[in-house]
Homo-oligomer: A and B are copies of this chain.
Amino acid sequence: MSVQATAIKPGSARKSPPPKPYHHGDLRREILCAARTLLEENNIASLSLRAVAKKVGVSHTAPYRHFKDKESLLAGVAAIGFAEIGSQIARAVEMHPGDPAAQLQEAGQRYVQLVMDNPQCVQLMFGGILPCDDTYPDLRAAGDLAFERLKMIIEEGQSSAVFKQDDVELLAMTAWSCIHGLSVLFIHGSLDIAASTTLEIHTFTKAVTATLLNGIGTG
């Protein structure tokens, strides 16, 4: 063993200025990434920690050096999901400066698209498996940030008098409810309408968003 180790030395640090911190080199991130992939490949019920470890190529107890337990790993994946929601909302705002109605519409489209692309992750995020208290601060923070971004759209719309002057959180939650509910019903698939085509989904989302804007708009 020791002979082989000294003979080859399997690429320990040949030329790695980036901060490869330890043995494996950011195993934590790789585990999160693998978990996310496996999560979407099968459903959440059949995601096993051991399969994640195998996919990464480590022993089945290695993840416990980076995550307290399975739930903690799942919380990490969910946090990434919330962060992406936040990013999509931010991008929607950037795309339509000064037009909160368009921002909301754009954000809705992006939200639905994100959910359609990562249905199992959404199921994890909103499925009640993870506690919503402060057990996982990163998860909580990511979710709160996304909601804050949505509220900013609402506030801008109220400032420019295109949205009603109701309670901000109420309007924001109404908007989120509408889009989130639509997304969930889409991926649930029981509704015959929610066929498949991206175009159909897009059209449908547009209609629902229009109804939403009609409901929270002024006049």
Contact = CB atoms under 8 A, between A and B. Distances in A.
Given A173-B182, A173-B204, A215-B211, A187 B44 contact: no
Copy number of this protein in the oligomer?
A: 2
Most chain B CB within a 10 A radius of its CB, from A132, A143, A177, A192:
A177
Given A119-B128, A188-B132, A189-B132, A177 B181 contact: yes
Interface residues of A, number: 47
Interface string A105-127: 00000000000000110010011
Interface in A1-38: none
Interface of A: 43-45, 119-120, 123, 126-129, 132-133, 140, 143-144, 147, 166, 169-171, 173-174, 176-182, 184-185, 187-193, 204, 207-208, 211-216
